[in-house]
Structure 1
Amino acid sequence: MPVYNAGSYIDRCAPSLVNQSLGADAYEVVYVDDGSTDDSAERLERLAEAHEHVRVYRQENSGWPGKPRNVGVDRAKGKYVQFVDQDDELSYEALERLYALAERNGSDIVLGKVHGTMQGPSNVFKRTVERCTAADAPLFESLTPHKMFRREFLREHGIRFPEGRVRLEDQLFMARTYVRAKTVSILGNYPCYQWNRREDGGNNSSRRITADDYYGHLDKVVEAIKEGTPPGDLQDRLLRRSYRVELLRPVSEPRVLRRTGKDLEEYFTTVRRMAMTSYPPGVSEGLPAISRLRAELLVRDRLDSLVELARRTEQIKAHVEVDDMRWRNDKLVLRTRIGMVRGDGEPLTVVERGGRMLLDPELLDGIRGAEDWEVPDPFSYAYGELIVHDTADNHWWYPDGELTPTLEPLGGGRHRVVVAGESVIDPLTLSGDAPMSTGAYQVWGSAQLLGVGRRPRLAPAPGSTRIALGTVAVGTPPRLVSPTWAGPGGPVFGRDAFAIGGNEHVARLSGINVTARKLSLYALTGALSGLAGLMLLSRLSGSSPGTGGLSLQLQAVAAVVIGGTALAGGYGTVIGTALGVVLLGVVANALNLLQVSSNYQSVSVGGVLLIAAIANEMHKARSARH
C-alpha cells in the first residue's frame, strides 16, 4: 500500500488488511510511506508494533503512487501481491478466496469483484471465471490495479509502474500486464475490494490537466497494447476501448457541450491528431454506428457537427418494457425488452434504403457529414442485461439469462434495435454463494444499442399495466421475498400505496414513509366516505347512523375484488373496479325488478364476491405454473 498524508484513513483501512481470514502467518502487509508530512508515519509505526505481519518502509516523496508500489513489490516476500490504496478496504475473505483461485489455475492475474462509492456495476464481474485472457474476456473494462498479481510474472516481464507524475499510470501498468498474461481469473461471486470516494475529495488530483498532457500519456497506453499484440483483429479490439472511452470523450456529450472557445478547440485538435496518427484504421471501423459516426466527423474536422450530434444523442433515453413477470420454482422470472427513444419520444431506428441499412435519418437530419450514415451491422457491440442492486451494501449482482439483440420492424423499411429475453433472479444464489440478505433490492436494465449506452431503472411506464406477484417463501429456513413496484413511473402517491399494500415491510425498506402514506390514505378514504354519505343523504332526504353502511360496504368490497384486487391486497385497476361497480349495479337493479328480498340480495352479492375471489386465485395459480 502506498501512503502519503493518509491520516485517519490508515486506521479506517488497517483492520480490513491485518485481520484477513487467510491468517496472519500466511501473508504480510507492506506499507510504503512516500514522504508523508502529517502523522501517517506515527500511525504506521503503531500498526507495525501491534502486528508482526505488518512491515513499513519510508522514502522521500516521489509525488505519485508508482514508485512506492514498485518498492512494495521489490520488498514483498509472497508469491502474489495485492495492491490496495490508502483509502480503500478489503473484505474479510478477499485474500483467501483470491489466493485459492490463483493457485487452482496458476493465474498471472486475479481480478476480485470491486464495490464501493467509486464503483458502479461492471459486467466484468458478472460471473466467476476460472481461466481467461484479454482475447476472450472484457478485461480492458477494468483498468485499476486493485488486483492480485503473481510476483514472478511481473518480474519475468519487467512490468513496473511508471514513476513520477504520470497520468494514466494505472492504465499503462494494466495494459502491459493484460497483453502478456497467459491466465487471468475473475472472482465475481464475492465482493473483494471496496473502492471508496474520500469525503475530502482526496482521490482526485488538484493539478490542472491539459489536453496534451492527458492524451500524451494515453498515447503511451496505446503503444503498450501495440507492443504486446500483433496487428490485426485482437489488437483493434483491445484498442477500441481507449478510442471509445478516452479519445471520443471530449467530442461526445456531455463534455463537448460544456466546453467552449479555446478550451474546446484545444481538446478537439489534440484528439483529432491522435485519432489520425495513433490508431490503426480497423479500430474506428469496428465501432457501433453512432460511435463510428463520431470518429468519422472527428477525422473530417467537423466540430460543429459533433456538437449537434451530442445535443441530440444526449436526449436519447432507454425504453424498458416488462412483458412478463412470474414466479417459477421459487425464482423470479422477468421477460423484458429494452430499446432507445429519441428526444421527441419516437424510437431510435435504422432504415432500409436501396439495399443498405442507414442510421435514423430523423436523428441526423441537418447534421453536415452525417447524411445517409450506413450501419453495416446494427448489432455491433449491442448487448443488454438486468442488474440487481443491493441498496444496503451497494453491491450489484447479475441474474441468469441474457437479453439478445434483435430487429423489430416498424413499417416503411424502419426497424428499431432492441435487446429482449428472459432473466431469472434466484434469491438463494443471486448474491454469490449465499442467499440474498434482508433488505431492499432494485432491478435495473443495462443496454448498449447503436453506440448509445443507458442504464434505466425497471419501473412501470405511465399508463401501462403493472404485473403484480405475491410474496413467496424460499429456502430453509424460509425467507420471504416480495416483488414490489417502486421507483420512477406512475403517480407517486398511488405507487407508494400500491407498494405498501403489497408488503409494508419491503415498502419501508425501499424508502417509503409508510406511516405518513397510511395517514394520508386514511384521511383520503375518510373524506371520500363523507362525500358518499352526503350523496346518500341527498338521495334519501333523511338518514340514521346505520343507513346503508353495512350493505354498501359489502358491495364496495365485491366491486374491488371483481376488478382484480385480491382479498389480501395488492394489484387492481381503476377500470376493473369501475366495471365491478357497474356489474353489481346491474345485478341489484335486476333483483329489484324481480322483487327479490333484500336479505337474498345480500346473499347474491356475497355469491358474486366468492366467485370473483375463486377466479382470482385460480388465475394466480395458473400464472405461477407458467
Structure 2
Amino acid sequence: MTLDTRAPRVSVVVPVHDSGAHIEKLVASLLRQSLPADEFEVIFVDDGSTDGTPARLDELAAAHPHLHVLHIPNSGWPSRPRNLGIERARGEYVFFADDDDWFGDEALERLHDCATTHAADVVVGKMAGHGRRVPRELFRRNRFDATLANSPLIDSLTCHKLFRRSFLDEHRLRFSEGPHLRLEDHRMVIRAYLLSKRTCVLADYTCYHHRRRKDAGNVTARKFFDPASYFAGLREALDIVDAHIAPGEVRDRLHRRWLRHEMLHRLRRRRLLEAPPEWADQVAHEVRQIIRERFAPGVAAGLPPLQRVAAHLAEQGRVDDLRRLAEWETGIAATGAVDRRELSGSTLTVAVSAHLESGGRPVTFAADSGREVLVLPVTDVDPALSDSTGTLDKSRLDLIARRRETNEEVFLPVTFHTEKVTGTTDDGTLHLVHHATATVDLDRLNSGRTRGTWFLKARITSAGWTADTPLALVLHFSADGARPVVRDRVGLWRRARWAVSRRLPR
C-alpha cells in the first residue's frame, strides 16, 4: 500500500478532560514546533469535559487547521480517547501526549527524523520530569537499535512515545478500556517493545516534559488505589512478557522491573509509613502472592541488597519489619561537596566527593564471614540477603547539570572511583565515599543549547539507592554558546538571605 503523500508525518493524540488552563502549555508547545504545521496534526479527544475545555478546544480547531477535536461521552479513563485517536489519525507516526504535559520545540521533527532514518517502529524521546519520576539511565545516550535485552527500555513503560501507525494497526496495539483498569499503558507498551522490529531512544534532545499536577483529581484516591485491581493489571503485563520471553535471565530482569517499581516501591519509605494500615496489608498480601506464584528465584536474587531484604520481608508477610525498615530508610540522603573546580577557556573541570548517610551518619557495611553486609535495622534476616560484596564494586557517582528553567538534565562525562573507609570505632564496619571528576567543554554542553541557569548535582547509585545531592556550583549562560558565569550557589543563597533581611522590619 502506498502512503498518502498528503498525510501528515505525525499525529499527536491527546486525551482531554476538564483541563482548564493547564492545557495551554501543551498547546503553546505544539504551535511552536519546528515541524511545519502542514506536516503534523493534533487530535484532541475531549472525554466528556464539564468545564470550559470543550469550547477552548473548538476555538483552537477553528483557528488552526491542523488541530482537530473529537467530543465523546465521558469514559472515565484515557484508554478510549487514545484508541479513538488512533482510528482518526492520518499520520505516518502517532505520538500519545497528556493534556498537561508539553513538548520541546523541535521534538516532533527530531522524533520523526530519527524514526525514518532508522526505520523504527517505536521511538522513545528523552523526558524531563516536573513532579514526576522519569527514566534516567535509559537517556544516558542515544540508542538506535534498543531492545529489552540490550538496554534499560523496560524502565520506560508510559505511552508518551512515537509509534509507527501501520505497526499499531498490524498488531492491533490498543489500550485496554474501562474506568477501573490500571497499568493499561504498561501492557500496550511492553507488547510494542516485544513486537517492534526496531526501537530507538533519542537522548540528545529533551522531547517531552512530563508534569504532575497538584490539583489533578483526587490525589489521595490515586495514591491508595484498589490493590486487587491494580495488581491484576500487573499480572496481565507479566503474562505478556511470559508469552514472548522464555524463562531465564532476560525474563527475570523484566519481571524485576515490576518487583522494584510497582511492588516494593509501595512498601518502602514514606509510601508505606503514610499508607492506611489496612491498605498496606492488602498491598503486602498481593506482593507476597505474586512473588510466590509468578517469580523465579533469580528475580529477587538479582536485586540490590536493600531491595532483596524488602522482597524477603514481603514474601514472608513481615509488614511490621517493613515499616521499621521504611522508618530507617526515610533518613537516607546523599551529601556531597566540590573538592576542586577550574575553568580554563570553555573547559570546566570539577572534582566531587559524596556519600550516603542516614540520620547524619554514613550508611555502613559490616564484615561477616568475608562478606560486606549492609547494616539494617531488622533482625532475623539471613546475612546473605544483605550481602553487598559484589554490589559495592558496581557503585557509581555521576555529575549532572540541570537547567533551572526546564528541568532538563545532562550527564557530564566523568571518571569515578569508590573508596572504602573503615569505621573509627574499630567495630569492623566501613562506609563508602564516592569520588568523580568531570571535564567538560561548556561550548558542547547540551549540544550548545545552553541559555539559562544550570545547577550541578551529584547522583550516587549504590546498594539499592539512587540519590541526588545539590552541589554549590551554578553556571549561567546569557545565550546559547555564550561564555558562562560560574558562581558559588552557597554564596548566592547567602546574598539572597542578606538582601531579604535588609527589607524585614526590625
Deviations 1:403-447 (A, max 9, x none): 4556555677644345433223432222x22242143x2211111
Q: Kindly provide the amino acid, as one letter, of the partner of residue 36 in structure 1.
A: S
Aligned to 1:147: 161
Residue in structure 2 matching 1:15, options 15, 28, 37 = 28
User: Is the CA contact (8 Å cut-off) linking 1:180 and 1:228 kept in structure 2?
Assistant: no
Is the contact made by 2:342 and 2:350 (CA closer than 8 Å) also made in structure 1?
yes
Instruction: Please give the alpha-carbon distance, in whole angstroms, between the structure 1 residues aligned to 2:159 and 2:225.
Output: 22
Spell out the pairing of 1:579-618 with structure 2 (5 A cutoff).
none
Displacement of 1:212:
1.4
Offset at 1:307? 2.1
Letter in 2 for 1:247: M
Q: Does 1:268 align with 2:284?
A: yes
Q: In 2 relative to 1, CA 374–119 (structure 1 residues): closer, same or farther, beyond 3 Å?
A: closer
Using the TM superposition, give the Cα deviation of residue 12 of structure 1 relative to its aligned residue in structure 2, in angstroms: 4.4
Is residue 2:212 matched to residue 1:200?
A: no
What is the aligned counterpart of 2:151 among 107, 121, 137?
137
Structure 2 gaps of 5+ residues are 1-13
SS of the aligned residue for 1:136 comes to coil
Q: Distance in 2 between matches of 1:382 and 1:116?
A: 24
Mean CA deviation greater in 476-485 or 21-30 = 476-485
3-state SS of 2:470 partner: coil
Alignment of 1:444-523 (within 5 A): 444-459=457-472, 479-486=483-490, 499=491, 507=492, 512-513=496-497, 515=499
Counterpart AA for 1:367: T
> Partners in 2 of 1:24 and 1:386 — Cα distance?
38
Secondary structure of residue in 1 paired with 2:130: coil
Task: Report if aligned partners of 2:448, 2:480 keep a CA contact under 8 Å in 1.
Answer: no
Q: Percent identity?
A: 30
The within-5 A match list for 1:203-602 is 204=219, 206=221, 209-259=225-275, 261-328=277-344, 330-343=346-359, 345-351=361-367, 353-354=368-369, 356-361=370-375, 363-364=376-377, 367-371=379-383, 373-375=386-388, 377-379=390-392, 382-401=395-414, 403-404=416-417, 407-408=420-421, 414-430=429-445, 432-439=446-453, 441-459=454-472, 479-486=483-490, 499=491, 507=492, 512-513=496-497, 515=499
Q: Secondary structure at the match of 2:39?
A: coil
* C-alpha deviation, 1:295, in angstroms: 1.1
Equivalent position of 1:559 in the other structure: none
In proportion to residue count, which structure has more strand? 2
* Aligned match of 2:142: 128
Shift of 1:168: 1.6
8 Å Cα contact 2:142-2:201 kept in structure 1: yes
Contact kept? 1:428, 1:475, Cα under 8 Å = no
Please tell me whether the aligned partners of residues 128 and 189 of structure 1 are also in contact (alpha carbons under 8 angstroms).
yes
TM-score (norm 2): 0.85
Structure 1 residue aligned with 2:184, among 154, 169, 182?
Answer: 169
Q: 510-519 vs 245-254, which deviates more?
A: 510-519
How many residues are aligned here? 485
Given that 2:374 and 2:387 are in contact with CA atoms closer than 8 Å, whether structure 1 keeps it comes out as no
Q: Distance in 1 between matches of 2:336 and 2:201?
A: 30
Measured against aligned partners, the alpha-carbon deviations of 1:323-361 in whole angstroms (never above 9, x if no partner) come to 43323563222223333234361442242x33x314134
RMSD over aligned Cα atoms:
3.2
CA distance in 2, matches of 1:341, 1:275: 30
Is the alpha carbon distance of 1:31 and 1:446 closer, same or farther for their aligned partners in structure 2, counting shifts above 3 Å?
Answer: same
**Structure 1 pair 433/202, CA: closer, same or farther in 2 (3 Å)?**
farther
- Alpha-carbon distance between aligned partners in 2 of 1:421 and 1:436, rounded to the nearest angstrom: 23
Letter of the structure 2 residue corresponding to residue 360 of structure 1: L
CA distance in 2 between counterparts of 1:260 and 1:50 reads 49
CA deviation digits over 1:32-88, x for unaligned, max 9?
A: 222333343333323222222223223332221111111111221111001111222
Partner of 1:298, secondary structure, is helix
Tell me the CA shift for residue 152 of structure 1: 1.8
Alpha-carbon separation, structure 2, partners of 1:8 and 1:340: 41
For the residues of structure 1 that align with 2:318 and 2:220, how far apart are their CA atoms? 32
Deviation of the 1:472 alpha carbon = 12
Give, in angstroms, the shift of residue 95 of structure 1: 0.6
Structure 2 Cα separation of the partners of residues 111 and 308 of structure 1: 39
Q: 1:298 to 1:358 in 2, by over 3 A?
A: farther
Structure 1 stretch displaced more, 471-480 or 169-178: 471-480
C-alpha separation in 1, matches of 2:156 and 2:131: 13
Sort the Cα spacing of 1:228 and 1:204 in 2 relative to 1 into closer, same or farther, 3 A: farther
- The 1:298/1:104 distance shift into structure 2, 3 A limit, reads same
